[in-house]
Amino acid sequence: MVVTLDQGWIGSVFLVAVRVGTLLMMSPVFSGLASLVTVRVLLTLGLSAVLVGGGAVASVPPTLGGLVFGAAGEVFVGATMAFGVFAAFGAFSVAGKILDIQSGFSMGSVYDPVTRAGAPLFSTMLNLVGVTAFFGMNAHHALLRGLAFSLTQAAPGAGLANLAPEPVIRQFGLMFSLGVALIVPVMLCLLLVEIGLAMISRVLPQMNVFFVMVPVKIFAALAILALTVNTLAPAMATVYASIFLFWERVLT
């Protein structure tokens, strides 16, 4: 039995693998696979082969120099798509950072073995919830459909001819607006707690408000977040939808 491989098909898989690999490497959704190099490579090659299918892409350069140039363009396309994912999930980091500052958790941090740096507690928790909800809401299926859509809009090796800065700036701005939208109820309740503690400090000036305020605000933040966790679903759906809206704007 002789197995023959079409060079055009191999070139197509290679270019798609560069795009998919860049997206997986820079996406926070798959940050847990950072140390699993073999798993990431096999996942990238498997997805690329499935996306290409049985036929070669006509736009694949026939020469080695053209293939290298096309791979550089695929890195740019994958990085642009990864920016949409990174900025969307940045909303969870922004929301967690705001809660850390308001609740007092910013005075302490935990060690993140993935990034090898200190990570705020609320930011770490919301990022984990965001990734879990991403797969729980079947958004990874939409991610695969988005990858297939990107191949129809920007063929492997063609790159992005016209990338307008407006969608990139809009996606960057959504990171902050959606981050605030995720935790609006908790922010407002913590503001009321601070006002109440400020009134108590005026009535009882001999009380050390700082040492009383920190545990009260931490307990209030955790309790209110637990009570309003059901309200996160619509905001999370908007965060995930912004990824694919960004891809549609930059790829068309």
**Is 2 part of a structural domain of the chain?**
no
**Is 141 part of a structural domain of the chain?**
yes
**Is 149 part of a structural domain of the chain?**
yes
Mean pLDDT of the chain: 78
Tens digits of per-residue pLDDT, 51-83?
A: 877 555 656 666 767 777 778 888 888 888 888
**Angle at CA 76, nearest 5°, toward 70 and 80?**
145
What's residue 57's pLDDT? Answer: 61
The mean per-residue pLDDT over the stretch 217-246 comes to 85
Counting residues of the chain whose pLDDT is more than 90, the rounded percentage is 0
What's residue 113's pLDDT? Answer: 56
Report which of residues 123 and 56 the model is more confident about: 123
What's residue 5's pLDDT? Answer: 57
What's residue 1's pLDDT? Answer: 44
In this prediction, residue 234 has a pLDDT band, given cuts at 50, 70 and 90, of confident
Counting residues of the chain whose pLDDT is more than 70, the rounded percentage is 80
What's residue 226's pLDDT? Answer: 85
| pLDDT for 88 beyond 60 | yes
Structure tokens at 212: 């009383």
**Is 1 part of a structural domain of the chain?**
no
Number of separate domains in the chain: 1
Structure tokens at 143: 């991610």
**Is 50 part of a structural domain of the chain?**
yes
**Is 173 part of a structural domain of the chain?**
yes
**Is 97 part of a structural domain of the chain?**
yes
* 56 φψ region: left (φ > 0), alpha (ψ -120 to 50), beta (else): beta
**Is 238 part of a structural domain of the chain?**
yes
Are 189 and 224 contacting, i.e. CB atoms less than 8 angstroms apart?
A: yes
Domain that holds residue 21: 7-251
